[in-house]
């Protein structure tokens, strides 16, 4: 029983040299950056195609007074800051 436990604990990645740990860290950072870039490109493509128009309109209307859509919700100074 002791030999089985010793064969899988501690994990092998804990024994990596410092350089190998840095390489794995940069590999993970590069992978995450690539995923975020791909996600950005997909969302940008949706925006350019106009597929997000309804969502944009709903968000903008939620920030307006339902009785008078020409007036935004918020204090008077907030309207001045948007000029």
- ∠ CA 78-80-83, rounded to 5°: 115
Distance CA 51, CA 71 (A): 26
> Could you tell me the residue ranges of all domains in the chain?
14-75
Tell me the pLDDT of the chain averaged across its residues: 83
Would the pTM count as exceeding 0.75? no
Q: Kindly report, residue by residue over 45-58, the tens digit of the pLDDT.
A: 999 999 999 999 99
pLDDT by position in tens, the chain (length 83): 556 655 666 666 566 677 677 888 899 999 999 999 999 999 999 999 999 999 999 998 898 888 888 888 888 887 787 76
Place of tokens 């029983």: 1
């Amino acid at each position: 029983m002791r030999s089985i436990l010793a064969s899988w604990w501690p994990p092998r990645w804990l024994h990596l040299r410092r350089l190998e740990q840095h390489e794995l860290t940069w590999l993970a950072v590069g992978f995450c950056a690539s995923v975020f870039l791909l996600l950005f490109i997909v969302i940008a493509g949706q925006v350019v195609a106009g597929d997000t128009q309804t969502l944009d309109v709903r968000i903008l209307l939620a920030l307006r007074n339902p009785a008078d859509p020409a007036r935004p919700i918020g204090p008077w100074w907030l309207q001045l800051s948007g000029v």
